[in-house]
Structure 1
Amino acid sequence: MTELDVKNLLQKLPPLREEIGKVIVGQQQVLDEVLVALLAGGHALLEGVPGLAKTLLVRTLASATDLPFRRIQFTPDLMPTDILGTEVLEEDHGTGHRSFKFNEGPIFASLVLADEINRTPPKTQAALLEAMQEGHVTYAGQEHALPKPFFLLATQNPIEQSGTYPLPEAQLDRFLLYIRIGYPSEQEELAVLNDTTGSARAEVRPVLGGEDIRQLQQLVRQVSLSPDLLDFVNRLVRATRPATSTVKFIQEYGRWGAGPRAGQALILCAKARALLQGRFAATMDDIRTLAAPVLRHRVLLNFNAEAENLTPDHAVEELLKAVSMTAAKLP
């Protein structure tokens, strides 16, 4: 890739934000985190109460990236074959020969929306594991490759609501980022009411294609990260583990810590954020900004923490303080 190619690619990122902004009001941090996950080559889980435009955000992203898009509405009676596909018996009318043919399910798209993923039982949730991790689906002993790029965005309502099935830890760990969507500000909500109750409709034009995204994902890995920051990420992730952590909060409230995949995710996301901002070197600010969405679903707290209304986000805050202090003492 030449320097001119790189420049042309990066020039497409601001218009991408603008196109999505025609429909999505505010939520800049959420949008940034979704784009980070896309460029880093991972998947994202969006959590928020109903009515916060989670589905609309994904649909708008599909329009702005010109990627093949499928939506899967997760329900309690959804089966794994409804997602992955199934084999059907076909007959050649000329020869009378019969054979099985694999009919691809809705997972075979570049951008997949798994809507309300926690509305379906664990058996069906687990059907996504291989696709998310390996980029292919195995059916009847045969591997079927998924398109590239392959980006899965799942939405869920808070698990304390009735009729939901919390995602298991193994499933959560496959998501690069766990993104929480809050209520809009007063001015943003006023703008939403104004924009969505009239006759005008925003038209979103495609800015990036599949090949552009593949090239950007390769470019992300070329963004530099200093040895000091690499060491910081390593110590931050290791400090999440109660058995060996020196962080008081984790010793008292931690139940389970993050694995090496968390460090990989944080580094890739920091590099992706740097590239989104036109930089070719990740900084401590990139790491601090993305620590919560990377770690909040990989750090499990005990019952004492729950009794005191402490969350994984509190744990991340304490970890960043403690590890930063340790780093400051190093020569």
Structure 2
Amino acid sequence: MEISESNVRMLIGKLSLLKKEIQKVIVGQDVVIEEMLIALMAGGHCLLEGVPGLAKTLMVRTMSQALDLSFRRIQFTPDLMPTDILGTEILEEDHVTGKRFFKFNKGPIFANIILADEINRTPPKTQSALLEAMQEFEVTYGGQTYPLDKPFFILATQNPIEQAGTYPLPEAQLDRFLLYVKIGYPSAAEEIAVLSSTTGKKKNKVEAVIGSEDIIQLQSLVRDVSISDDMVAYVSELIRATRPDTTAYAYVKEWVRWGAGPRAGQALILTAKARALFNGRYAVIPEDIHTMAYPVLRHRILMNFKAEAEQVSADRVTEELIKVVVKPQWK
């Protein structure tokens, strides 16, 4: 589907409006908001991690209010079952014929935006109920496959795994998230603004500024953003350098248990394209790749015990690799 230049500019303008609507309620966290929007534009899902009280849930709910899309919130708890997410079959009776039949009642997963709140407070069995929906954009139950409405976007929040009552997400589940975004504490000025704005009577109203058709067009536009062959080769080299068995860097062999797979490269290119479009550009530049490498790789590089003992994070590995992996002559 061809989109005119004027429509492209209009869609990019709506992205700016969307960010402004979210900022009516959320103070600071500009990078986090941008990464959430990039994940939406790239057609992927986003995992937000931070300690309780950093407005993770409020951020997602505010974003959903600014989007003219259906929204459902699923509170993950230790006793949550897969059917509480996907839905279940119930026995009904045809009042005319008297025959009984099973009818599938759709669960909360059947919405455009899903807030999977505190996803790591439920066991892996229930967490894995999201796998097919996240990858295939459909749900299979009782031998029948039910497509999900598009756009389909899961925003999951989790508390740091060191906290009590949490279950680490399996690597296969983590890999389904396009981006892993960490939320930190606000600055002193931002915290004062938060305290002032949330303890009075005035409440800012968030308006829906963009709809499903616009988002689908944006997701299509992202794939049209230009990236040079040299940059694609650089992304491949960066991803391969994270793997202990193929890397040329001693510290990767020393700290990393498992490196990133090809899906990481796909995610990095797509999010770099989305970031370029978000900033009004139609071609990827090195800054796009370097900026998005951190949220793309931090959940796809599995650190070993030595790294954990020395408090070496996946972000540290990414930072070092960006410094040393040979870059092409950017054109």
* Same-fold call, TM cutoff 0.5: yes
Three-state SS of the structure 2 residue aligned to 1:221 is helix
Q: Distance in 2 between matches of 1:329 and 1:8?
A: 34
**Aligned 8 A contact 2:230 2:328 in 1:** no
Report the AA paired with residue 206 of structure 1: A
**Aligned 8 A contact 1:223 1:282 in 2:** yes
Question: Is 2:66 the partner of 1:59?
Answer: no
Match of 1:302 in 2: 304
**Aligned 8 A contact 2:242 2:252 in 1:** yes
Moved more, 12-21 or 182-191: 12-21
* TM-score scaled by length of structure 1: 0.98
Three-state SS of the structure 1 residue aligned to 2:224 is coil
Over the matched positions of the two proteins, sequence identity in percent amounts to 66
Q: Distance in 1 between matches of 2:114 and 2:57?
A: 11
Match of 1:314 in 2: 316
Runs of 4+ in 1 over 3 A off after TM superposition: none
Query: Alpha-carbon deviation of 1:94?
Result: 1.5
Match of 1:34 in 2: 36
User: Unpaired segments of 5 or more residues in structure 2?
Assistant: none
| Structure 1 pair 90–19 and aligned structure 2 pair: CA distance change class (3 A) | same
Report the AA paired with residue 162 of structure 2: E
Q: Distance in 2 between matches of 1:217 and 1:279?
A: 15
Match of 2:215 in 1: 213
Correspondence for 1:45 among 35, 47, 61: 47
Correspondence for 1:272 among 257, 274, 297: 274
Match of 1:327 in 2: 327
Question: Is 2:192 the partner of 1:190?
Answer: yes
Moved more, 244-253 or 207-216: 244-253
Correspondence for 1:15 among 6, 11, 17: 17
Report the AA paired with residue 26 of structure 2: I
Query: Alpha-carbon deviation of 1:302?
Result: 1.1
Deviations 1:136-172 (CA, angstroms, capped at 9, x unpaired): 0000110011110000000000000011000010000
**Alpha carbon RMSD of aligned pairs, Å?**
1.1
Correspondence for 1:109 among 102, 108, 111: 111
Match of 2:238 in 1: 236
**Aligned 8 A contact 1:249 1:318 in 2:** no
Three-state SS of the structure 2 residue aligned to 1:89 is strand
Query: Alpha-carbon deviation of 1:329?
Result: 9.1
Query: Alpha-carbon deviation of 1:4?
Result: 2.1
Q: Distance in 1 between matches of 2:44 and 2:124?
A: 21
User: Unpaired segments of 5 or more residues in structure 1?
Assistant: none
Moved more, 174-183 or 9-18: 9-18
Query: Alpha-carbon deviation of 1:189?
Result: 0.4
Query: Alpha-carbon deviation of 1:249?
Result: 1.5
Pairing of 1:30-179 with structure 2 (within 5 A): 30-179=32-181
Question: Is 2:246 the partner of 1:262?
Answer: no
**Aligned 8 A contact 2:51 2:160 in 1:** yes
**Aligned 8 A contact 1:233 1:263 in 2:** yes
Q: Distance in 1 between matches of 2:231 and 2:263?
A: 16
Deviations 1:244-278 (CA, angstroms, capped at 9, x unpaired): 10022202111101110000000000000011111
Q: Distance in 1 between matches of 2:78 and 2:113?
A: 23
Match of 2:255 in 1: 253
Three-state SS of the structure 2 residue aligned to 1:137 is strand
Query: Alpha-carbon deviation of 1:328?
Result: 6.1
Report the AA paired with residue 176 of structure 1: L
Query: Alpha-carbon deviation of 1:95?
Result: 1.5
